[in-house]
Amino acid sequence: MNSHSIRETAAVALSLLDLTNLKDDCTEAQIEALCARAQTPYGNSAAICIWPRFVGQARNILGTGHAVRIATVVNFPTGEMELADVAAETREAIADGADEIDLVIPYRKFMSGNEKAVTDMVKAVRAECADPVLLKVIIETGELKEAALIRRASELAIDAGADFIKTSTGKVAVNATLEAADIMIRAIRESGRKVGFKPAGGIGSVADAALYLSLAETIMAPDWAMPSTFRFGASGLLDDILAVLSGAQPASAAASGY
């Protein structure tokens, strides 16, 4: 890949990035830094993705109507909270200023055969997310493992009203993979609905990002990936994006993954 296209890919990846800090020991100072990092000399990331307890702080920093959206997580990371508690957590996050909700499905119940638990959870949280709040549904592909389960969880989430389906919490051994992405994007295509895709966890370079964008382009359309249909969930990807865009990293090094 030549230097022009790797820079182009870096710029696109920046516009699709949910810049994430979901570390257990995250601090208010780190949230302040995250809000600043999301606004780069080359443009803004699509969103920041943070714990619910920091949403109010981030909203105070960014103000209303900011180009950088605030995403937060519910039923995270285990997917094992009670439905009423997840609905309440969602309501509170939106009241605090969240623009986007990343919901973990009860994937262990799903793996034991309980599809209704997934449908009920997604529908309940969907009901709390009045327009324009986006609902991104995490199916935890690394734990589901089997293609048929990944496919079915994607279908259930889409049918119950997900705006996006997302691979992973980033908190398990296996996070985003191209294999899981392939299954999920095909499920979106076959649903015929306007649903987005978010690979998350383990995407650390522009070269990695390019592989996911290329896959999306192959399955959907060359111009399909935009902030309303595609996000990267990552904490480390921004460093590589900025290295490429600033010219600090030679394009040949950035492209070594092709």
Catalytic positions, please? 102, 166, 198
- Token pair 């973990």 is found at 104
- E-strand ranges in 139-194 read 164-166
The C-alpha atoms of residue 138 and residue 19 are separated, in whole angstroms, by: 16
Nearest to 230 by CA among 74, 51, 9, 43: 9
Measured CA distances, 212 to 3, 127, 200 (Å): 19, 31, 11
Write the secondary structure of 206-236 as one string of H (helix), E (strand) and C (coil).
HHHHHHHHHHHHHHCCCCCCCCCCECEEECC
Nearest to 50 by CA among 27, 83, 66, 82: 27
Strands 47-50 and 196-198: unpaired
What size, in residues, is the chain? 258
